[in-house]
A and B are shown apart, each in its own frame.
Chain A
């Protein structure tokens, strides 16, 4: 029974990890940059959600419709004004710039909102469904369902629309995509905005699960790195499967070893993957692409 409980809890949180990782892997797939700001944007999204709730009593599930466009816009601006100039230069430049941006955002959050842990106490936050011996946390269940729906929408967009296909084409072969008349900067901006908007969804959902603080992003960034590498860099399907897997691994190890040690387990897993199957579950060797 306990295994079933852990499996379910793991899959529920894994769905949210998958959502965060989808954004990271999408950005990597299209632009070949590792976005170190990703976790911090989750933190920003959770603060947005928190403040909408606290100041204007907007429920975080309704606030989602404000947080997501706001994050998408932030993503687009961040790409246009910062990232774009970095990836023109080199891989090292884009790594340094996104790490630098991460430090700036964390400290801005610290300055604006202090280091306090802040959480939403809406009626959903503590509720759970009971089914026999199984207990399912309501906010996590909602988060999972919304993550599922959003993932479905993302896949429909990527497979059914011209813009979505252009994003996939650009991640397979940028040069060929440009020859089809795809405007690369437009596609990059859009991909970055979508990646960050996905984090916005996750942030709004998680704000009633976890307390937010300025360095919260780091731990989630770490989780989504493991997820993305496990699934294969740039692979969307890999990110979903990896997210669910890491969710289960984390929940199980937190139960048996203790939650302070759970990171140890998935980081060990991370190292094992890098040694045994460096390309990940669904990964291929991705050729370097020049700007």
Chain B
């Protein structure tokens, strides 16, 4: 579905991603975990082709998209929820969702998109007219997810989806992601909190200083020695 071959990412002189190989199969949830500064957000930017110089190959459903500009990748169904939600604060919840349906493909299915998102997240319908900036963190994360889903994603990329959420919201988001997977969506997330993310993932990768050092099935990886070494240094 989505894969990276020999990926390198740079900001000017500084190389932040080294020799990345990664693949995500259709209908699965894959997590890349790592500590602060491991290059998780850079990996997301690498995939979207935004704010970072890239080398190597990215394949999306058999097509090489490494040279595509960001808006074309979005149109092809690679949709990202950025770290910290990044909603349009002065726009209403509804307008934020409308921005999600910006690509031609999503615009054509706008009505179905709204119905789908409102049926999954009925709270958003209630808050439709409120400025997005006035919602709580958890609600904002829902809007960010809704905005991405309306874009008709093939692959959903999530940058730190659990960051700053209360435990009850973490459970809700986890359940929500699993529901989406059951509906056939493919999800790739990067997350600092390995416990939350690997528990609901089919496959996981461990990222250290811009290199993938280990991978495995979600729950196995969670209890592996490699992971403990990364997080606890033992």
**A positions within 8 Å CB-CB of B:** 162, 165-166, 168-169, 172-173, 175-183, 290
**0 or 1 for each of B12-56: is its CB under 8 Å from A? (1 = yes):** 000000000000000000000000000000000000101100000
| Cβ < 8 Å to A, chain B residues 104-152 | 106-107, 147, 151
Say yes or no: A180 contacts B102, CB within 8 Å. yes
Q: How far is the CB of A212 from chain B (nearest CB, A)?
A: 38
| A140 CA to B204 CA, complexed, in Å | 68
Q: Which residue of A lies closest to B107 (CB)?
A: A162
In the assembled complex, which residues on chain B have CB atoms less than 8 Å from the CB atom of A168? 88, 90-91
With A162-B107, A180-B74, A182-B102 in contact, is A172–B88 under 8 Å at CB?
A: yes
Please name all residues of chain B whose beta carbon is closer than 8 Å to the beta carbon of A175 when the two chains form the complex: 50-51, 82, 86
Q: How far is the CA of A177 from the CA of B95 in the complex (A)?
A: 12
Nearest opposing residue in chain B for A166, CB measure: B102
Q: Are the C-beta atoms of B71 and A183 separated by less than 8 Å? A: yes
Given contacts A166-B99, A168-B88, contact A176 B82 (CB under 8 A): yes
The residue among B88, B147, B151 with the most chain A CB atoms within 10 A of its own CB is B88
Q: Are A169 and B91 in contact (CB under 8 A)?
A: yes
Q: Which of B87, B89, B91, B151 contacts A181 (CB 8 A)?
A: B151
Does B193 count as interface, using CB distance less than 8 angstroms? no
B217 contacts across to A, CB distance below 8 A: none
Q: How far is the CB of A290 from chain B (nearest CB, A)?
A: 8
Q: A179 contacts which of B75, B82, B91 (Cβ < 8 Å)?
A: B82
Whether the pair A178, B99 counts as a contact (CB closer than 8 A) is no
User: Once the chains bind, are A180 and B91 in contact (CB under 8 Å)?
Assistant: no
Which of B102, B103, B151 has the most chain A CB within a 10 Å cutoff? B102
- Contact A181–B71 (Cβ < 8 Å): yes
Q: Contacts A162-B107, A165-B95, A175-B82 given; indicate if A181 touches B102 (C-beta within 8 A).
A: yes
- Tell which of A162, A165, A181 touches B74, judged by Cβ atoms closer than 8 Å: A181
Residue of A nearest to B44 (CB): A179
A179 to B70, CA, bound (A): 7
Does the CB pair B71–A169 fall under 8 Å? no
Q: How far is the CA of A18 from the CA of B69 in the complex (A)?
A: 37
Is the Cβ of B91 less than 8 Å from the Cβ of A172?
yes
Is A181 a contact of B88 with CB atoms below 8 Å? no
With A165-B95, A175-B82, A176-B87 as contacts: A181 and B50 at CB distance below 8 Å: no
Verify if B100 is at the interface (C-beta below 8 Å from A): yes
Q: Is B202 an interface residue (CB 8 A)?
A: no
Contact B86 A173 (CB under 8 A): yes
Q: Are A181 and B86 in contact (CB under 8 A)?
A: no
B178-222 CB contacts (< 8 Å) to partner A: none
Give which listed residue, A169, A173, A178, A183, contacts B50 with CB less than 8 A.
Answer: A178
Residues of A within 8 A of B82 (CB): 175-176, 179
Q: Ordered nearest first, which 8 A-B pairs have the shortest CB separation?
A: A181-B74, A176-B86, A181-B103, A172-B88, A183-B71, A180-B102, A181-B71, A181-B102
Cα distance A177–B91 in the bound complex, in angstroms = 12
Nearest B residue to A159, CB-CB: B95
CB neighbours (8 Å) of B103 from chain A are: 180-181
List, in ascending order, chain B residues with CB within 8 A of A173's CB: 86-89
B71 cross-chain contacts in A, Cβ below 8 A: 178, 181-183
Tell me the complex Cα distance, A173–B99, Å. Answer: 12
CB distance from A78 to the nearest CB of B (A): 23
13 A-B contact pairs sorted by A residue (CB < 8 Å) = A162-B102, A162-B107, A166-B102, A169-B99, A173-B89, A175-B51, A176-B82, A180-B74, A180-B100, A180-B147, A181-B70, A181-B74, A182-B102
> Most chain-A Cβ atoms within 10 A of its Cβ — which of B99, B100, B106, B107?
B99
A289 to chain B, nearest CB (A): 11
**Cα distance A85–B73 in the bound complex, in angstroms:** 24
Is B98's CB within 8 Å of the partner chain A?
yes
C-alpha gap A181/B79 in the complex (Å): 9
Q: Which of chain A's residues have a CB closer than 8 A to the CB of B99?
A: 165-166, 169, 177, 180, 182
Judge whether B80 is part of the interface by a CB distance below 8 angstroms.
yes
Contacts of A180 in B (CB 8 A): 74, 99-100, 102-103, 147, 151
CA distance A194 to B51 in the complex (A): 27
Which one of A162, A172, A176, A181 has the highest number of Cβ atoms from chain B below 10 Å of its Cβ? Answer: A181
CB distance from A277 to the nearest CB of B (A): 19
Given A176-B82, A176-B87, output 16 extra A-B contacts at Cβ < 8 Å: A162-B102, A162-B107, A166-B102, A168-B91, A173-B86, A175-B82, A176-B88, A177-B88, A178-B50, A179-B86, A181-B71, A181-B75, A181-B102, A182-B71, A182-B99, A183-B71
